[in-house]
């Protein structure tokens, strides 16, 4: 199965530390998305990439958050100076990027972050 993969699956950190998550999309998928999901809520859009270009960012993505997709393949999401409110599931999704009107997003299993 060559679906979307995310690493690590779980991360526990202390408040104030920096964390980085990695997402490997489905091969040849041009679009990559990051979402955050807290208990009892649907996924909240954070940002998306078309190849290596970051095209849209949510206002949820504060200056402590940064995402990159340097070669248009895998992506990283970094959170600096973590806060307890950052505790959530961070989901990555990818899509082919060859349809103009909308297309299926394939989600990874997520990285669950707990900030103590």
Q: Residue numbers of the site for another protein (CB under 8 A)?
A: 4, 31, 33, 35, 37, 39-45, 48, 50, 55-56, 58, 91, 93, 101-102, 104-110, 112
Least Å distance between CB 79 and another protein?
19
Output the six-digit token pair for 66: 């940064």
CB of 67 to another protein, least distance (A): 14
Residue 30 or 76: the one with the smaller Cβ distance to another protein is 30
Give the Cα separation of 15 and 82 in Å (integer).
5
Within 13 A of 34's CA, how many CA atoms are on the CB side? 30
In angstroms, the CA 111 to CA 10 distance is 5
């Amino acid at each position: 199965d060559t679906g979307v993969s995310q690493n690590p699956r779980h991360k526990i950190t202390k408040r104030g530390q920096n964390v980085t998550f990695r997402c490997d999309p489905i091969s040849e998928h041009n679009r990559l998305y990051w979402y955050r999901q807290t208990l009892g809520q649907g996924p909240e859009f954070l940002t998306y990439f078309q190849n290596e270009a970051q095209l849209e960012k949510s206002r949820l993505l504060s200056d402590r958050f940064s995402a990159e997709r340097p070669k248009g393949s895998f992506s990283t999401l970094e959170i600096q100076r973590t806060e307890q409110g950052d505790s959530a599931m961070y989901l990555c999704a990818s899509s082919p990027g060859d349809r103009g009107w909308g297309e299926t997003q394939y989600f990874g299993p997520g990285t669950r972050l707990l900030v103590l």
